[in-house]
Every structure is written in C-alpha cells, then in structure tokens.
Amino acid sequence: MPFTATVLTILPDMFPGPLGHSLAGTALNNGVWGLKTLDIREFASDKHRSVDDTPAGGGPGMVMRADVVGRCVEDAIARQPDVPVIAPTPRGKPLTQQRAKALSEGSGVILLCGRFEGIDERVFDHTFSNGTQIEQVSIGDYVLSGGEMAAMVILDSVVRLLPGVMGAAESESEESFSVDASWDGLLEYPHYTRPREWEGRTIPEVLLSGNHARISAWRRAQAEERTRLWRPDLWEAYEARREASPKGKPRKGRS
Ligand code: 6GU
C-alpha cells in the first residue's frame, strides 16, 4: 500500500489542486502515493448539514462543531488507524524538514483542515478511539484563511521525499534544509546553467573547471557564506553542532 493522505475539509474540490501537477502530480497519477478527501459536511446531523456555529462567550466569526468534526476524524481513523492526525494551524509546532522526512517514512497522514475562526477546542483535548490525539502543525508565522493550503504545503514537503518521486537521488541531499548529515542546516549553494554569459554576467570559473574536488569545496563555502549572511539563526545552530563533532561534519539532527 502506498503512502496515503486523507484530507478532512469542507472544501474537497480544492484537492488535489497544485498537488495534481509536476512532481507530486506525476507521482499521484503513477500510484506512488494516494490522496483521499473526506467532506466534513457529510458528518453533519441536521437537515441544513451545519458544520459551524457561533462562538460560546460571543465574539466574531464561527467555530467548527466538535460533534461533526469528531465524527469525521473517527471515520478517517477507522480507515487508517496507524497514521498521525495533523491539524494545520498557525498555533502549531513549526513544520521542519525532519518532520516531513518522518512523515514520509510512515504509511500516511490524516490532515484535518479548519475554516472560520477555528475548531472547537475539545476536539484537540480528545483522545480518539485508537488512542490518537490530534497534532497541531504550523507552516509559518502568518495566518491563512483555512488549513487547506497549509495541508498542501505539508503534503508537498512529504511527497517529494517518497521513494521514486524525485529524479536524481542526490538532488535532495545537498539543498537547503536537507536532512543529509553534512549539509544539514545549510542553505543551498547557487546554481548556474547555459548561457555561459547573460546580461554581462558569467558563470563562476570553478564550475567550468571540471575539477570536482574544487567544485565541491566552492559549493560548501558558498553554502556556508549564504547561511551566515542570510540566516544567522541557522548558522549559529550549524556552528554549535560543528563545535560538538569532529572534522567539520555536523551530526545528524539540529537544535
Ligand atoms: Cl499550518 N494553517 C493555517 N490555517 N494557517 C496557517 C498555518 C497553518 N501556518 C501558518 N498559518
């Protein structure tokens, strides 16, 4: 059975959306991974199929009902009892490359997408029938109008790591935030291709030298320099790891 994502949403037509294109889309069409949606509205019980109601205590907007969302999550868990349930939300634990990698090594994920002001808090306090508690994950410190686009971002980061999705084996291992041990925590080095000259700018000579040892050393130096200048937070963590392990090869994992 391939990696299977089940997205719980009141907007199932948003999927696969961008995930139906390019790398992820090809892999989806080839059965390398599977995508299902569950329409939360199908779990409503009244004739108007309400999924939301006014907030207790007053205030703006609407809140998704615990009973409706709870039934939908239970239904998804019954089909996939062994996968994590993740709710995309700006208050969640930040998504990292490590988390994406861990998810890609599992059998799938259930993504619970909220809309309106949010989901009744009791859904997050609840332990579901198989012992699962919902994990909250954020893709960054800004607010989206619903969890769907964040769910797509999470899935894109996971799907590209599945075996057989990326072309060249090494195209992942040297890039920014790769989990590869020695490049871990560095930004990507710069890339160039034809033409050799564009708008008066040439390709760095070393890349045309054919000297692979020199090229590797140059790329490493560029990656380190960019990280130091552009992401001092990552550079500090990288240096701390390098300090703790010999030969300038940081250990796997980051602080
Ligand atoms: Cl993961 N979800 C939503 N709805 N908004 C967000 C987010 C996630 N991350 C940042 N903003």
Please state, in angstroms and rounded to a whole number, the distance separating the CA atoms of residues 121 and 178: 35
Q: Which CATH architecture has domain 3-159?
A: 3-Layer(aba) Sandwich (3.40)
Residues near ligand 1 (Cβ within 6 A): 88-90, 92, 137-140, 142-144, 146-147, 150
Check whether 180 has a pLDDT greater than 70: no
Compute the average pLDDT of residues 32-42: 98
Please state, in angstroms and rounded to a whole number, the distance separating the CA atoms of residues 236 and 227: 9
Q: Where are the domains of the chain?
A: 3-159, 173-248
User: What are the phi and psi torsion angles at 79 (to 5°)?
Assistant: -85, -30
Residue-wise pLDDT tens digits, 94-105: 999 999 999 999
- The fourth-level CATH superfamily of domain 173-248 is tRNA(m1g37)methyltransferase, domain 2 (1.10.1270.20)
Q: What is the pLDDT of residue 247?
A: 62
CA of 149 to the centre of ligand 1 (A): 8
The model carries a pTM of 0.93
CA of 172 to the centre of ligand 1 (A): 25
Percent over 70 (pLDDT), the chain: 92
Residue-wise pLDDT tens digits, 66-109: 999 999 999 999 999 999 999 999 999 999 999 999 999 999 99
Q: Hey, do 3-159 and 173-248 end up sharing a CATH topology, with the first three levels equal? A: no
| Residue ID of nearest Cα to ligand 1 atom 6 | 90
pLDDT band at residue 34 using 50, 70 and 90 as cut-offs: very high
User: Over 4-52, what HEC string results?
Assistant: EEEEEECCHHHCCHHHHCHHHHHHHHCCCEEEEEEEHHHHCCCCCCCCE
Please state, in angstroms and rounded to a whole number, the distance separating the CA atoms of residues 42 and 40: 5
Residue-wise pLDDT tens digits, 203-215: 999 999 999 999 9
CA of 151 to the centre of ligand 1 (A): 8
Single-letter amino acid code for the residue at 245? S
